[in-house]
Structure 1
Amino acid sequence: MSTLSETPRTDSPETGKRLNKTLVLDAISFFARFWMAYTWIKAGISKLDAHMAVTQNITAYEIFTPQWSDFLARLIGPLEIAGGVLLLLGIFLRTSAKVSIGVLTLFIIGVAQAWLRGLELDCGCFDPTATTTNYQLEYATTIGRDLFYIALSAWTVHRPFKKWAIYTP
């Protein structure tokens, strides 16, 4: 009498479904990690040579003093680039994504308070020198976009794409 092995068949329909599901989840994780890396790097680079415009954008929110606005304007671009590089290289993926969620939440709070207070300003997110005339649409679009970015960052916290990552504890 022969005994059959208890190992699952690799050609079963169930295995194929699991493999397809894994590929889809990996694709979402890949997109979330690398899109957020691109987004942070692009936002940071746009601020590097626009110190005065970034300072004016931050001051327009009427949250910080001019001195703090100047300090944040010097800091925000390099920090956004650093966050993007960490995601790109796969260094502390979950931690980097958690910081991303925190920063995006602060951005949403800043835009929402400006909207509620009736301030007319451009967020300065990707082009500090840009101007807009439809502030209501700009605020809603910015908050919606940042919520999407929070979802991508949360996905990276939940299921980071570790392939090509340098260090993910």
Structure 2
Amino acid sequence: MIALPRSPSGVVALTARWSLAAVFIAAGYIKALNPAAFLMDVRSFQLLDDPWAAWLAMGLPWLEILCGLALLSGLLLDGALLTITGMLAAFLAAILYSWHRGIDLQCGCFGENPDVSNYRDLITRDVLLLATAIALLIYRWHLSRQPSPPATLTPESPA
């Protein structure tokens, strides 16, 4: 059973965590449904040659799903948050670099999109997701730094 938070900040953190989980599970699922299309999207960045692009296209959707499930369940939470933060930072760097190079790319984040890339929308979305992941990491760090409540002594039951 999931322990629900008792503080307003805990409720906000849980809502943010589950929202981020939903985004990553959905994005990973959509990519996993059509790996060939996602491979074309990875290639559109012109950053990786085969076989690296193919490995990324095959593995990334499952990593996103796994991290999303970890956020949803609370298992391996810190590792999932660190991994998601790294993925978002790498994606943001790839988007910025592609924009700088003038590449018309298809990000492939949520399946096929025939429209021309709107870099500002991609960057805004990625920055908001990255800020959410970083805020959750900071929140978790602050929780870990709080002293634990003192142990209470309970009378032992007679044998």
Q: Same fold (TM over 0.5)?
A: yes
Q: Give the root-mean-square deviation of aligned CA atoms.
A: 1.3
Distance 1:100 1:51 in 2: 20
| SS of equivalent residue, structure 2 residue 126 | helix
Identity of aligned residues (%): 26
Taking the aligned partners of 1:93 and 1:131, their CA distance within structure 2 comes to 35
8 Å contact from structure 1 (residues 41, 85) kept in 2: yes
Shift of 1:140: 1.1
Pick the aligned partner of 1:159 from 139, 142, 151.
Answer: 139
Structure-2 residue corresponding to 1:167: none
**Alpha-carbon deviation of 1:26?**
1.7
- Consecutive unaligned residues of structure 1, counting only runs of 5 or more, are 1-21, 161-169
Q: Deviation string for 1:5-58 (max 9, x for gaps)?
A: xxxxxxxxxxxxxxxxx7331221012110111011000000112111111111
Q: Post-superposition, which runs of at least 4 consecutive aligned residues in structure 1 deviate over 2 A? A: none
Q: 1:140 corresponds to which residue? A: 120
| 2:122 partner amino acid | T
The answer as to 2:133 corresponding to 1:149 is no
| TM-score, structure 1 normalization | 0.75
Query: How far off is 1:158 after superposition?
Result: 2.0
Whether 1:106 aligns to 2:86 is: no
The unaligned stretches of length 5 or more in structure 2 are 1-5, 141-159
Which one of the candidate residues 106, 110, 124 is aligned to 1:126?
A: 110
Q: TM-score, normalised by structure 2?
A: 0.80
> Which one scores higher on RCO, CA 8 angstroms, separation ≥ 6?
1
Count residues with an aligned counterpart. Answer: 135
Q: Is the 8 A contact 1:48 1:77 kept in 2?
A: yes
